[in-house]
């Protein structure tokens, strides 16, 4: 099961978002530039490898206007500029859908469902490939510093993965899984993959009433509660 946390201080917006999923069958692929961590989506590009490997790279790419020695001298600095340009171009070309394997992450409920005023929607795993404009899907890797791509020795796919599927290790509590789409904005998906809706502990009465009375009977509806004697969340079937 894959989960998407949604929330807002505005209860009407929460209701609209819930309807967007269950009635319209659309999900937002966010622009990377809109993410809450501006240091994301970075990669350091280097020109490593042995001299033999660099020379082969030079020859394979048809650099005929200057000598290998001249190219080798300026390549490291050129790689830095390439990384900046690549990030700028990629941030405008692809959308990102952030998902989680966990339904009861206390920090996720507090942050992304805005202090439990929103909801968490659960999908079958096959949901990801039904998303309009689907490009790729993977787990996010958490590391202490910006990932490095060696233009000489690494395959190009590695560059894409390091740009979109790596984050600073301070975010590892999210255990994020990402769908990358070929465009930004609302993307259609197959609604048959919706399995459950989990309402936040502080969701508005109108959102709860809609979930209780208007949802397809094939979708299970729950609400999170927290016991008086424990630091935990309990998922209870909505009656």
d(Cα 84, Cα 25) in Å, to the nearest integer?
Answer: 36
pLDDT band at 121 (very low <50, low <70, confident <90, very high): very high
> Which residue has 């993977």 as its token pair?
138
> What's the mean pLDDT in 106-133?
96
Percent of the chain at pLDDT > 90 equals: 65
* pLDDT tops 70 at residue 62: no
Q: How much is the pTM?
A: 0.88
Which range of 41-50, 81-90, 110-119, 148-157 scores highest in mean pLDDT? It is 110-119
> Which residue has 């992450």 as its token pair?
105
> What's the mean pLDDT in 85-92?
82
| Whole-number pLDDT of residue 2 | 98
Domain range annotation of the chain:
2-237
């Amino acid at each position: 099961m894959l989960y998407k946390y949604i929330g807002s201080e505005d209860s009407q917006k929460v209701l609209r978002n819930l309807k967007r999923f269950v009635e319209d069958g659309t999900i937002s692929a966010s622009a990377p530039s809109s993410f809450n961590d501006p240091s994301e989506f970075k990669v350091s590009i280097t020109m490593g490898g042995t001299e033999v490997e660099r020379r082969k790279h030079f020859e394979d790419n048809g650099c005929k206007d200057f000598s290998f020695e001249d190219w080798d001298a300026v390549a490291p600095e050129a790689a830095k500029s390439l990384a900046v340009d690549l990030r700028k171009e990629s941030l405008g070309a692809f959308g990102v859908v952030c998902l989680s394997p966990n339904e009861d992450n206390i920090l996720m409920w507090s942050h992304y469902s805005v202090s439990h005023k929103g909801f968490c929607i659960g999908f079958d795993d096959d949901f990801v490939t039904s998303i309009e404009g689907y490009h790729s899907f993977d787990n996010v890797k958490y590391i202490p510093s910006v990932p490095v791509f060696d233009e000489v020795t690494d395959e190009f796919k590695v560059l894409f993965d390091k740009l979109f599927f790596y984050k600073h290790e301070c975010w590892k509590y999210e255990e994020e899984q990402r769908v990358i789409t070929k465009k930004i904005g609302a993307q259609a998906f197959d609604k048959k993959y919706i399995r459950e809706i989990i309402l936040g502990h502080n969701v508005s009465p109108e959102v709860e009433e809609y979930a209780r009375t208007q949802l397809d009977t094939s979708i299970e509806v729950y609400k999170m509660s927290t016991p008086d004697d424990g630091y935990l969340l309990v998922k209870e079937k909505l009656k």
